[in-house]
Structure 1
Amino acid sequence: MEQKHFEVIIIGGSYSGLSAAMSLGRSLRQVLVIDSGLPCNRQTPHSHNFITQDGEKPAVISAKAKLQVDIYKTVQFYNGLAVKALKTENSFEIETESGAIFSSRKVLFATGVRDLLPEIEGFEACWGISVLHCPYCHGYEVKNEKTAIIANGEMGFEYAKLISNWTKDLRLCTNGKSELTSEQTQILKSQGVLILEGEIDSFEHTDGYIKNIIFKNGERVEVKAIYARPPFEQHCPIPATLGCDISEQGLLKVDAMQKTNISGVFASGDCTTQMRSVAIAVSTGSFVGAVINKELIDEDF
């Protein structure tokens, strides 16, 4: 790639990054999108709750989006992993794993998060297929089915209350001694929620579709879906090295304009919010593209 300096570098070329790139491309901005091709939902067979694309494969949505963004000739793509960033007086320098260096006036991180999956045999194979994180994205497809939740304490109580909207055939797996209060336990039991305190050994599944939860005590529980919210970390460590603030939840802190605390650095999509969905990622990307363009206009006018 001959061009080395851009007005905006977007790190992360999935839904939010592509949406921002389209907004900036339509604003005639010189943009570089750096992407390593590892979206967090790459194993999920279908995406839902995104109007016009409901039920489509995630990879199909992103491929179509990239083709549409590619129409805007001021937007270029670099297939690789960004590993380092340096803030200079008037710009940013971004270095990739292969040693290529690019610079820009503004940087957008649309890099998502990396889920830290528990060491339960079969969990990773089922993640995004029948082990789910979001009922708004996937709950309709498993409505009224035998469903389990892996959680404990306050989170387990609230999660069970939420999922009960989609199914009443529900069991809460605390994966060890319950940390629910006696009142929470009574409420859940009154709603027909089974509370299982055994430690989980493995998931029996076929091609990622769960059949049984196998407990260490030998108990087997048949389910068709599991909800879980494993911990996560930022997929990209660069914002932290630049000094961007990170919340207690592990998310990049942004204001209402998707700006981080570092001037010229923006963030959008899953790396900034617990509301992880394609629709929200697209929305924040489109919005931040307009914000960045306006900031460039104000600086140059």
Structure 2
Amino acid sequence: MQQDVIIIGGSYAGMAAALQLLRARRRVTIIDEGIRRNRFASHSHGFLGQDGIDPSEIAATARAQLSKYPTLTWIDGRAEKASGKQDAFFVTTADGASFEGRRLLFATGVKDGLPQIEGLTERWGKSAFHCPYCHGYELNQGEIAVIAASPMSIHQAQLIPEWGKVTFFTNGAITLDAEGRADLVRRGVTIDETPVARLEGHADVVLTDGRRLPFAGLFVATRTTPSCDIAERFGCEIEETPMGLQIRATAAKETTIPGAYACGDVGRVPHSVSLAVGDGAWAGAQLHRSLVFG
């Protein structure tokens, strides 16, 4: 049976979009591989009503609530290919199943490109983060490291003194001009240009000169890319943002392919659970309007 909307990606944004459509009694199929971006974190913060909850619990509760709507079909699997056009889109999964829908929504999320620093991957989401609004408060105004990875790292170093005393490790990734250096010093940031050798312990930064500096936590500005290339292979235009690559979408969340939409981290910046949910809800409403008004 043709669905009204096929949603690729069943995390926070995809489920938020589905909820709007299901409450309009539309037929929705969600295809979800089950790999959330924040799966490394034990607690999610900054989402009203869910502050401090395990993100997997938030996702499980949302899925359970959606499952009560009879017009939902949930497919656990990986979407491999999208094709077709408005009112006749087709999505094929890794196991060869095919689904047809009038509209298509990419809510695939993004993946974080981490700099090659020994010990960073193991600490990601535990004591190393990208968003201070999500994780800064829990550091209790302690010593915080910001390790440069891109020009966005300067913005992090300027902002994060709100949450503690910051040491900014340029790590050969950026070069500060006189104005930028003066601004950081004015904000109370300690600048250390010695390269980082590795991370140890909870959030200890070991430098190439042998110093080992302990921190309550550390922040890195990752470069994000869509978690899979299904939208790009379909022909959706991809655009560059200060945080990385995302699917280009209008204010109504429609991509460069008519009838195909994008929301959540893959279709907006900046990123957080609450922003993804809001963006998904908006996309769901816009999809419904498209179905009603054409």
The interval holding the TM-score normalised by the smaller chain is: over 0.9
Whether contact under 8 Å (2:149, 2:220) holds in the other structure is no
Is 1:229 aligned with 2:229? no
Identify if the C-alpha distance between structure 1 residues 92 and 50 changes in structure 2 by more than 3 Å, giving closer, same or farther: same
- For residues 80-119 of structure 1, what are the structure 2 equivalents within 5 Å? 80-88=77-85, 90-119=87-116
Give the match for residue 276 of structure 1.
271
- The correspondence for 1:139, drawn from 100, 122, 136, is 136
119-128 vs 75-84, greater mean Cα deviation? 119-128
Shift of 1:152: 6.3
Q: Give the one of 21, 25, 29 matched to 1:24.
A: 21
* 1:202 corresponding residue in structure 2: 198
Counterpart Cα distance in 2 of 1:27 and 1:94 = 23
What amino acid is aligned across from residue 155 of structure 2 in structure 1?
A: E
Distance 1:24 1:141 in 2: 36
Tell whether the 8 Å contact from 2:148 to 2:174 is kept in structure 1 after alignment.
Answer: no
Question: What is the deviation of 1:177?
Answer: 7.1
Gaps of 5+ in 2: none
> Deviation of residue 288 (structure 1)?
1.1
Q: How far 1:188 moved relative to its partner?
A: 2.1
Q: Is the counterpart of residue 172 in structure 1 residue 164 in structure 2?
A: no
Per the alignment, in what secondary structure is the counterpart of residue 247 of structure 2?
Answer: coil
Which string of whole-angstrom CA distances, capped at 9 and with x for unpartnered residues, describes residues 153-173 of structure 1? 853432211111111x21001
2:282 corresponding residue in structure 1: 287
Q: Distance in 2 between matches of 1:122 and 1:89?
A: 46
List runs of 5+ in structure 1 lacking aligned partners. none
- How far has the Cα of 1:285 moved from its partner? 1.0
Give the one of 285, 292, 298 matched to 2:293: 298
Deviates more, 1:22-31 or 1:236-245: 236-245
Other-structure match for 1:33? 30
Aligned to 2:209: 217
Mapped partners of 2:174, 2:2: distance in 1: 56
CA distance in 2, matches of 1:47, 1:262: 34
Mapped contact 2:31–2:74 kept (Cα < 8 A): yes
Of the structure 1 ranges 263-272 and 232-241, higher mean CA displacement relative to structure 2 is found in: 232-241
RMSD (CA atoms): 1.6
CA distance in 2, matches of 1:155, 1:88: 37
Three-state SS of the structure 2 residue aligned to 1:291 is: helix
Structure 1 residue 88 displacement after superposition: 4.3
Q: CA deviation at 1:191?
A: 3.4
Residues matched between the structures, number:
291
Q: Percent identity?
A: 38
Alignment CA distance shift 1:233-1:265 (3 Å): same
- How far 1:245 moved relative to its partner? 1.5
Residue among 118, 127, 131 paired with 1:130: 127
The alignment partner of 1:170 has SS state of strand
Mapped contact 1:152–1:179 kept (Cα < 8 A): no
- By how many angstroms is 1:56 displaced? 0.4
Partners of 1:224 and 1:88 lie apart in 2 by 51
Task: For 2:228 and 2:149, locate their aligned partners in 1 and report how far apart those are by CA, in whole Å.
Answer: 29
Pair 150,53 (structure 1): closer, same or farther in 2 beyond 3 Å:
same
1:59 aligned partner, one-letter code: S
Question: Which of 156, 160, 175 pairs up with 1:159?
Answer: 156
Contact kept, 8 Å, 2:21 with 2:288, in 1: the verdict is yes
SS in 1 for 2:277: helix
Q: How far did 1:195 drift?
A: 1.1
